[in-house]
Structure 1
Amino acid sequence: MGFDPRQWSGGRPEQRVTSNVEALLAENDALRREVLRLNRELERLQRQQRQRIRTEPRSHRAWSEPSAQAPPRISSQQVRAWGQALAQQPGWTALRQRGLELLIEQLNRSGFPAHLTLEQRLDRLVRGLGTDLMAAVGAKPNKQTTAVLAAFTLFGVRASEWLDEDPQRVVEQLRQRQDQSGSRRQGRRTRTDQRQTDRQDDGHARDPRRAALRVLGLEANASLAEIKQAHRKLVKQHHPDLGGSAEAFRRVNEAYRSLVQ
């Protein structure tokens, strides 16, 4: 049982403390009821707001979105300027649109994970970058805009820097990669053929495990933990989306799979 100050008499049962106490208690009860009423009203308004957001079309509530749509990271004007700059560089005539398209497909397949498109890969690295790039290029890319796409496939998020600062180097790299891709398709040089060119090691055929370890920069007695650590390091170093070599990235992954399978 609690203490009721109205029953306190200071030792004299015939007296009761009534001055202001009953008024204070009544005021306290009134305040408590008012707080409960305000809380119920707030909950009701919040429910109405949530219901309105769920049912109202997005276009009607765009004004109330917390932030406006950000401007595109890459504009069609930028893509055109990059394409025109590339077309003025030595070696441009050696590039072919179909060859660039095949190069984009090849580099995407050699990336990780291989099923991602260029748009998805760039969006993973920088939110919206791939979407903005494809929108700027348009539905029917020509040779110039295809070369821009190939540059982003080759250099990843750093492609804009290369296109702005050294378009001649971009053309050289694309031409070299296109030639390499074309020679592989024409010659159909298999992995067995590639291994045969590396088969001299003091006059004896190279051991496949030792060859794979050398790709990862490891000795013959390397442990599984050392193999995994070297693989993680080299994958980051050679990842095409970070400006690395797609061919080196492929060789590192193949070597790792042959060692752990």
Structure 2
Amino acid sequence: MGFDPRDWSATPHVSRDGKARGERVTSNVEALLRENDSLRREVQRLELELDRLRRLQWQRPRRESSSRQSWHQSSSESSPRVTAAQVQRWGASLAGQTGWTDLRAAGLGALIDQLNRSSFHSQLSLQQRLDRLVNGLGTDLLAAVGARPSKRSMAVLAAFALYGVRASEWLEEDSARVVMDLRQRQRQAQTSNSGRRTRSDRRSTDRHWRQADARLEALSVLGLDASATQDAIKQAFRRLVKQHHPDVGGSADAFRRVNDAYQLLTA
């Protein structure tokens, strides 16, 4: 049964002195009842709003996940993971480290092949390995290096063959360590292969490496890469002679290096 406080004030109450007295309650009972009804409706509205927010909370992760996925797909399609500018910057940083001259372009190529053969999927190329790890990474890397890689870009490829997807971190943060690791791995590869080659084979291979390294170093002196043509070599030589000739205030040592590089490339 319900209770109406309006009836409470009419209920007699016997005090200690034996006299019947009515309870003292507020006179604005109607206002209290209206306020109570209003609060009940507000609670119902808040419960409905809370239920709606809970439903939205369960739906939001799916929408955000699909949004992130679509953004990732669109960004991966529009921007390469490795650019030619990055390869050039990494190569220049490696070339400035101690021990760089000990690395050989042909030796770096042999090192890449050996690292691929010793990987989990020995039948895969470097591009295929990297593409399996991160979709498109190997394809973008080879496109950035180009069809005729120089010694610097070969070193970048060897870094990716050695470190995998973390190569970009090593190349950005500790290029000196990269050169040191590549030198060590190249020496190990040469030692392991020397026992399986005859002395004449070793002399022929070493001569090939020296010639390849000398050509790459000469091109580097002229500011060119491995794809430079004879016309480009002549133009670079003329420009650098005018810049470094002692008669125009240039360095005799720099002029000698430029001339030696040109003589080697045009021999």
TM category, shorter: 0.3 to 0.5
TM-score normalised by the chain length of structure 2: 0.45
Q: Which has the higher contact order (CA 8 A, sep 6+)?
A: 1
